[in-house]
């Protein structure tokens, strides 16, 4: 049973990942190989957040992951690390599909081990707009990052109208400085 007592809202960064074309890939190669790919994505994400306090995989969403990180700075670091490890796995051929990622920053309400709220909904929509190997972040995430990521190059994507949200969300594409 899910614990539904009222808990204090938490402030932080939400990162969504998604294996692009997973359903078609599963159809083409079968369940066993698809299972391996899911495992690899989970392992890469686990490595990326392992040493970051306040970071955890909230849940798996089919072929994607929902990851919470307590601060925007640490969140961006995790996402960049994951992007790099995915790229390495793609280069060696271990990972046959690209991973797209989206991040947002704001408050979320704990619901058992899960998190709910508009911050979560928007984060998921941001990821939907990314391409494989791409990380998109909201203006809210950028605004809450300190100087740590001053060297990170951001390219403007523009104002995006998200279903169910009245005002557009400004997005940026993150170019890995490494």
Partner 1 sequence: MTVEGGSSRLTVRVPLGSDVVVGAESGGVGVVGPLGHVSAVSRSGRVIVSDVTSADIRAESGRVEVDGCRGECVVRGDSGKVEITECGTADIVTRSGRITVSGVRGDVRAHCVSGRVEVDLDEAADVDAETVSGRIVVRYPRGVTPRRTDEDDAVGGDCVLHARAVSGRVTVGNR
Query: Which residues of this protein are in contact with partner 1, per CB under 8 A?
Result: 20-21, 24-25, 27-29, 96-98, 129-132, 134, 155-161, 168, 171, 173
- Give least dist CB 38 to partner 1, A: 16
Q: Which is nearer to partner 1, 53 or 93 (CB)?
A: 93
Number of other CB atoms surrounding residue 162 within 10 Å: 20
Give the Cα separation of 155 and 142 in Å (integer): 12
Helix (H) or strand (E) segment spanning residue 59: strand 55-61
Q: Which is nearer to partner 1, 21 or 117 (CB)?
A: 21
Q: How far is the CB of 76 from partner 1 (least distance, A)?
A: 19
Name the maximum alpha-carbon separation found in the chain: 47
- How far apart are alpha carbons 172 and 64 in whole angstroms? 21
Q: What whole-number distance in Å separates Cα of residue 106 and Cα of residue 44?
A: 25
C-beta closer to partner 1: residue 74 or 136: 136
Minimum distance from CB of 119 to partner 1 (Å)? 20
Q: Provide the minimum distance between the beta carbon of 132 and partner 1 in the complex, in angstroms, as a whole number.
A: 6
Q: How far is the CB of 80 from partner 1 (least distance, A)?
A: 19
Decide whether 62 or 112 has the Cβ nearer to partner 1: 62
The span from the CA of 107 to the CA of 67, in Å, is 14
Residue 61: both structure tokens together: 């969403």
Q: Which is nearer to partner 1, 81 or 134 (CB)?
A: 134
Half-sphere exposure of residue 86, counting CA atoms within 13 Å on the CB side?
29
């Amino acid at each position: 049973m899910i614990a539904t007592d009222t808990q204090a809202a938490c402030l932080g960064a939400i990162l969504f990942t998604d294996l692009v074309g997973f359903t078609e890939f599963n159809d083409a190669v079968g369940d066993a190989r698809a299972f391996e790919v899911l495992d690899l994505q989970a392992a890469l994400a686990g490595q990326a957040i392992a040493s970051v306090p306040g970071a955890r995989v909230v849940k798996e969403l089919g072929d994607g992951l929902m990851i919470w990180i307590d601060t925007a700075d640490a969140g961006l670091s995790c996402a960049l690390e994951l992007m790099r490890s995915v790229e390495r796995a793609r280069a060696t051929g271990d990972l046959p599909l690209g991973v797209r990622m989206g991040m947002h920053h704001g408050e979320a309400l704990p619901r058992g081990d899960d998190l709910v709220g508009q911050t979560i909904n928007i984060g998921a929509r941001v990821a939907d707009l990314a391409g494989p190997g791409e990380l998109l972040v909201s203006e809210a995430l950028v605004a809450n990052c300190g100087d740590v990521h001053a060297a990170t190059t951001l390219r403007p994507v523009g104002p995006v109208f998200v279903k169910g949200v009245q005002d557009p969300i400004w997005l940026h594409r993150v170019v890995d400085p490494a």
